[in-house]
Structure 1
Amino acid sequence: MNELPGPHRAVVAAVGRSPVAGARIAGLGAYRPARVVGNDEAAANAGVEAEWIARRVGVRERRYASRAESVVAMATEAGRAALADAAVSAAAVDVVVLATCSMPSPMPNGAAQVVAGLGCRAAGFDLNAACSGFGHGLAVADALVRAGTAGGVLVVASERMTDWVAPGDRDTGPIFADGAAAALVLPSGEPAIFPVAWGSDGAQAALITIPAATGRMEMAGRKVFRWASSALTPVIEAACERAGLDPRDLKALVPHQANLRIIDALAQSLEAPELVTATDVIHAGNTCAASVPLALHALRESGEIVSGDPVLLFGFGAGLTYAAQVVRCP
């Protein structure tokens, strides 16, 4: 690290690292709020039947953050867990990327506060690609590490979606929830994060919005369902092709945990019957950018995937944005 002159003793990351052959996820961490909310409570708020929620989106319970469990607080705990999982200190982190769309204020950015919370000296910036934010952040981290710009990048996805949805809105209230997860990306002798397949369809951005006048999410659920379940299979296929794999070579599919019916449709489209498919949505709800890394963490914790397994991560959501990449399980 180099110190700049001045009263604040600003510190910048060292430069001059050589490019490396690849990058890998070296550690995973997760933070799930303590409060579990079942369908009876969520259904009463939205004026629907509990079984209607389970049948329509597959959610049976979700986590709601307390006042103390802010976006930054959850992100910091998830990041700390990822560092512990990789058995490295915060000194290994040169950059923190915070994927979120639910910060309560645009300034200060959340990532800089996570840097402070972890006690590392790193660059920190927020990234908003909504529900595909973790995939976007992972692609950025992979590029930074491979280029030699950073030796370690912590990608954290943290969301308090309950701040932005109305409990009485049947299209969003029973679905969205809170949580955070993180991945530490380090150099690797060979690629373990493969090229991303990503894009956006801004012409349909109005399908999911948070109008400034209301501060509450509005979502055209049926149209989003049709888009996600019919238009996105080529993105998955492109990610597999860029990794040099057939979908049947994959161990697991970890899609955005938006809706169990969408997840099932995506899994069936791959025609890979042995594929393990993450269904964290049942117990976690839709945690936006945090849903993919939370689901990945849950699969590894359950033993359904192990170190080295090829796994396809796939996020999609507001924007409309999407990002898919194959990674090796840490």
Structure 2
Amino acid sequence: MGLGARIAALTHYQPATELTNDQLATTLDTSDDWIRRRVGIRSRRIASMAETVDQMALQAATKALAASGLTADEIDMVLVATCTAVERSPNMAARVAHGLGLQSPAVLDINVVCAGFTHALATAQHAIMAGSATNALVIGADQFTSVADWTDRSTAILVGDGAGAAVVRASDRDEIGPVVWGSFPAMNRAVRIEGIPSRFSQDGQTVYRWATTELPSIAIRACEVAGVAVNDLGAIVLHQANMRIIESFVKRLGVTKAVVATDIADSGNTSAASVPMAFSKLVENRMVQAGEPVLLFGFGGNLSYAGQVVLCP
């Protein structure tokens, strides 16, 4: 049995349908220039009726499993991070497991909103290190447009849909650093997905101040517990919430060399999918090399956060 865990494969899936800023401006009091200046988004992808959370998760997971070189019967855990699943049971993880033809995996859905993937990755790592799993599929998938209030320009301009998936395997050394996670319960209502039908809303200024003032020091601590200096990072993948948040966050980290993921520009805020999708694209485009340390840091609803340094697959 391995002593640690590593990411063996990383992939993503996005719907084909694009929603541009100019298209949004036909129904909202906004413009391409205003959206770019305010949040740094150029366009986002919108799921079709058939591209449900479980189907997007399955698409990403299928690619990840193929890239890992494993067979379906070798996967013994599936975790799906999502906050937009409509159905309660069978959960998204069970639907993915069935779609892949898995034999008898543990199947868990994890709802920590935009910090979901990094929480799920840590959960898989812990299970592997405890000997309860050997090979896990960790997926972040959200149809964030399904909870959008399309009359509210402050939030409607943000949302997009997609999925990202990683295969996490037992290893003779731990290539996933200790997670630093937690929340700010007193501020939990700053991000909300509530009501029937559920709608996304937030106190944007509260979230911005929290993300740019409280979280950078926590991200630095994630580097410290992994034994990696911030300036030795090959890449930084933050939750893709807002370009201004990303830029301010990175500036406070004092980073000078790392590649910074900015998938927000063409994907929007995809909630739990944002970290794995952005990381997958960096790897796919060879912007970060195998073995380089990468800071993953999710944050958002509850107000929750989770960060860890991983070695690039």
Deviation per CA, 1:27-51: give whole Å up to 9, x if none: 1121010101111012333321121
Identity of aligned residues (%): 44
What is the aligned counterpart of 2:305 among 315, 319, 322?
322
- Aligned counterpart, 1:157: 140
SS at match of 1:171: helix
Query: Separation in 2 of the partners of 1:254 and 1:180?
Result: 15
Which structure 1 residue ranges, 4+ long, deviate > 3 Å from structure 2?
none
On the 8 A contact 2:81/2:117 being kept in 1, the answer is yes
On the 8 A contact 1:207/1:224 being kept in 2, the answer is yes
Deviation per CA, 1:274-296: give whole Å up to 9, x if none: 11100000000000000000000
SS at match of 1:187: strand
Query: Separation in 1 of the partners of 2:49 and 2:126?
Result: 36
SS at match of 2:15: coil
Query: Separation in 2 of the partners of 1:272 and 1:72?
Result: 36
Report whether the alignment pairs 1:230 with 2:209.
Answer: no
Aligned residue identity for 1:124: V
- Aligned counterpart, 1:8: none
On the 8 A contact 1:95/1:150 being kept in 2, the answer is yes
Shift of residue 310 of structure 1?
0.4
What is the aligned counterpart of 2:92 among 99, 110, 127?
110
Query: Separation in 1 of the partners of 2:214 and 2:24?
Result: 30
- Aligned counterpart, 1:46: 28
- Aligned counterpart, 2:42: 60
- Aligned counterpart, 1:33: 15
Query: Separation in 1 of the partners of 2:118 and 2:62?
Result: 20
Query: Separation in 2 of the partners of 1:110 and 1:104?
Result: 10
Larger radius of gyration, structure 1 or 2?
1
- Aligned counterpart, 1:130: 113
Shift of residue 212 of structure 1?
2.0
On the 8 A contact 2:217/2:253 being kept in 1, the answer is no
On the 8 A contact 2:180/2:218 being kept in 1, the answer is yes
SS at match of 1:113: helix
Query: Separation in 2 of the partners of 1:133 and 1:234?
Result: 20
Backbone CA RMSD of aligned residues: 1.0
- Aligned counterpart, 1:202: 185
Query: Separation in 1 of the partners of 2:89 and 2:28?
Result: 32
SS at match of 1:91: helix
Query: Separation in 2 of the partners of 1:176 and 1:285?
Result: 5
Report whether the alignment pairs 1:169 with 2:152.
Answer: yes
What is the aligned counterpart of 1:302 among 253, 261, 285?
285
Query: Separation in 2 of the partners of 1:233 and 1:71?
Result: 31
Q: Aligned residues, how many?
A: 312
Query: Separation in 2 of the partners of 1:311 and 1:182?
Result: 16
Q: TM-score, normalised by structure 1?
A: 0.93
What is the aligned counterpart of 2:240 among 235, 251, 257?
257
Shift of residue 213 of structure 1?
4.2
Aligned residue identity for 1:307: A
What is the aligned counterpart of 1:248 among 227, 231, 237?
231
Query: Separation in 1 of the partners of 2:50 and 2:289?
Result: 34
Unaligned runs of 5+ in 2: none
Query: Separation in 1 of the partners of 2:197 and 2:206?
Result: 22
Shift of residue 214 of structure 1?
4.7
On the 8 A contact 1:43/1:53 being kept in 2, the answer is no
On the 8 A contact 1:46/1:174 being kept in 2, the answer is no
Aligned residue identity for 2:214: A
Shift of residue 146 of structure 1?
1.1
- Aligned counterpart, 1:100: 82
Aligned residue identity for 1:221: G
Unaligned runs of 5+ in 1: 1-17
